[in-house]
Homo-oligomer: A and B are copies of this chain.
Amino acid sequence: MVETIEWTSAGVIMIDQTKLPRQTEFVTCRTYEEVAEAIRSMIIRGAPAIGVAAAMGVALGMQQADVEFEKICTVLAATRPTAVNLFWGIERMKRKYAALAGQPHAAVAAALKAEAMLVREEDIEICRAIGRHGAALVPDGRTVLTHCNAGALATAGYGTALGVIRAAVESGKRIDVFADETRPFLQGARLTAWELQQDGIATTLITDNMAGHFMKAGRIGCVVVGADRIAANGDVANKIGTYSVAVLAKENGIPFYVAAPISTLDLTLATGDQIPIEERSAREVTEVFGVPVAPDGVAVQNPAFDVTPNRYVTGIITERGVARAPYTDSLRVL
């Protein structure tokens, strides 16, 4: 498996997720501004991966000459609004920076670099823990449906939803995967199918609008998705289309699990109604790899996320265990 993001002496290296699976290209960010642009343009995406990239962006900025710490944090925070892990990653670096007050710049820069690399290492460990907790929930001999890419590419490695799938496979369960292609950015077709293919986990690609059909046909044993932000009451913001999958799962009596690190929780928000939803460019909908698929001038809406109310969520799988309703209690305990 290729690495999603790495700190090297040349800069922060990321695999370019806008080009996969047609091209395996790597981007080297030499400044925090380049990291910010990589997050904004979705060269790197996925809530936990964005958190790691933000931490590395802060550390990278502090290696640059004459850059103000607060400026770095402000620029990185303005890249994408929905995934709370972005702000969590920046906050963690701010706390570290505060603890380093009074030390010489070189020492601060070195310590922040070490912290960012630790964030990355921890993210992989967290994903493995999520996998261990979630593997038991996956029914043996059945098909797992997933939406978008909550895989190694959405994290520093291993994945959240795909971490649960990987852990279930490693535990000996015989499962296969249905992957929603996840329009408009096609993370399912381009990233999830590619990742699971590399791991040799049997995967069937479907368009988003087929998921309900296969649920009704009894083909799906459970649904596992990631999350970009989870409110205190268990409402889940995740890739657009997640809400529809959740409603269809409930209608068909299929368990619907969310796999996410604790850093995805935002206990400052009582409900998901308060989560900001990013609206992205119309061209993501009207063009596919630059090929127009709609008439010129058509109006488009392109919300990148939706909010799934807690009543559709069977369980939230974190590195500290599985939360179940009522989430206002169970999430606080975690």
Contact = CB atoms under 8 A, between A and B. Distances in A.
Interface of A: 21-22, 147, 178, 180-184, 186, 189-190, 193-194, 197, 202-214, 216, 240-241, 243-244, 247-248, 251, 285-286, 288-289, 291-295, 297-303, 306
Contacts of A205: 285-286, 294, 298-301
A291 B251 CA distance: 35
B286 A289 contact: no
A152 to B, nearest CB: 15
A244 B147 CA distance: 15
A214 to B, nearest CB: 7
Contact of A248 (B210, B247, B291, B297): B247
A219 B292 CA distance: 27
B244 A197 contact: no
A240 to B, nearest CB: 6
7 residue pairs, one from A and one from B, having the closest CB atoms: A209-B241, A212-B244, A183-B207, A208-B209, A213-B306, A189-B294, A21-B295
28 contacts: A21-B295, A147-B209, A181-B183, A181-B294, A189-B286, A189-B294, A190-B293, A197-B298, A204-B300, A204-B301, A205-B286, A205-B294, A205-B300, A206-B285, A206-B300, A207-B208, A208-B209, A208-B241, A209-B209, A209-B240, A210-B240, A210-B303, A210-B306, A212-B243, A212-B247, A212-B306, A244-B244, A244-B248
Contacts of A186: 293-294
Contacts of A204: 298-301
A204 to B, nearest CB: 5
Contacts of A240: 207, 209-210, 213
Contacts of A207: 183-184, 208, 240-241, 285, 302
A293 B207 CA distance: 12
A307 to B, nearest CB: 8
B214 A243 contact: no
